[in-house]
Structure 1
Amino acid sequence: MKISFLRHDKEQAFKLLYEEYYAPFCLYAKRFIEDKETREDIVSDVFTSLWDKIETFEIDSDTTLGYIKMCVKNSCLNFLKHQEYEWNYAEIIRKKTPVYETESDSVYTLDELYRMLYETLNKLPDNYRTVFIESFFKGKKHTEIAEELNLSVKSVNRYKQRTIELLRNELKDYLPLLLLFIASGRA
């Protein structure tokens, strides 16, 4: 099929080129990329780029097909290269200890934040610390804790409130962040 890009007929020529070669170029892209939607997106992007440049070049169909093939191949390879960078970056991030910044502009790892929490909790009487740990870390209800520790529910509530007050005073800059992790079950 011979397609020429004459000035008066470029839209029609492009339409014929797209209808004739979109599917074969999607199949060609399968040599590089398994995912069908990704292949179709890449080929569509190549045709869109060609459409954007249609006014700037006067080439015959053989040159155009070679150009499209090269663009599809390069786009597939660029996609794979970018995907590899993403995987490598995700792996590096996964291996690193997360770092958290507080309002006081101090930066701490999660382990350091937990260490500060436990140091503060260790300053508490045993019952206060136990109530806090059972409630926040283990998610137990006040009635369960009261039964296990042989305390009233009011005492459990009071211990918990006093512990939170102490934590609020001792760890005021870090408490919101710590409570976020405790609530999400990361402790």
Structure 2
Amino acid sequence: MKEIHDKFDFGDNRRVVDALRNGDEHCFDALFRQSYRPLCAYASRFVPLARAEELVQDTLMWLWENRRTLIPEMPLKSLLFTIVKNKSLNSVSRNSIKSRVIRQLAADFEEEFDDPDLYFESELVRRFSAALRRMPEEFQQAFRMHRLEGKTHREIAEELHVSPQTVNYRIGQTVRFLREELSDYWPLILLLFWPEGR
């Protein structure tokens, strides 16, 4: 059971559901940690982030409290996203203009944005990496060193033998390019990859 605990694997749905049904708290903890941010990102399409976090916590606690009723044949990932979507839409006043707009947008983009896999990092990483590869190599390098390795502009400048201003320019241009290329996903990318909003 160790591999389920270390990295929650939705691929083995029956095994995970069986573990949950048997009260495996380590499995639930892994599920909670891996699902929380993707579910929040999804819910924040409909409601403010603070409300999204409440709804996701409620959903995951509901799952634990009702774990004995889970059916191994029902995909857990789809179940969680469906519950979160319904809770989110139900939490918005049905008669408000905002609610009507949100419901219309949800219907218009349902096929693309209701795919749970989009909210788990693999699909977004693929799109993000493909966009990044379209930048010049030296821009990619500066961006990776800063955003992914956490190095300062000065540290990068010293390592690459360029000025801090050059590093700043390369990183700024890369961020602008990625924001344009991935504009539909940018809020989601920020939430999943840079939750501190850098």
TM-score, length-normalised on structure 1? 0.46
In terms of Rg, which structure is larger?
1
Which of the pair has the greater relative contact order for Cα pairs under 8 Å at 6+ separation? 2
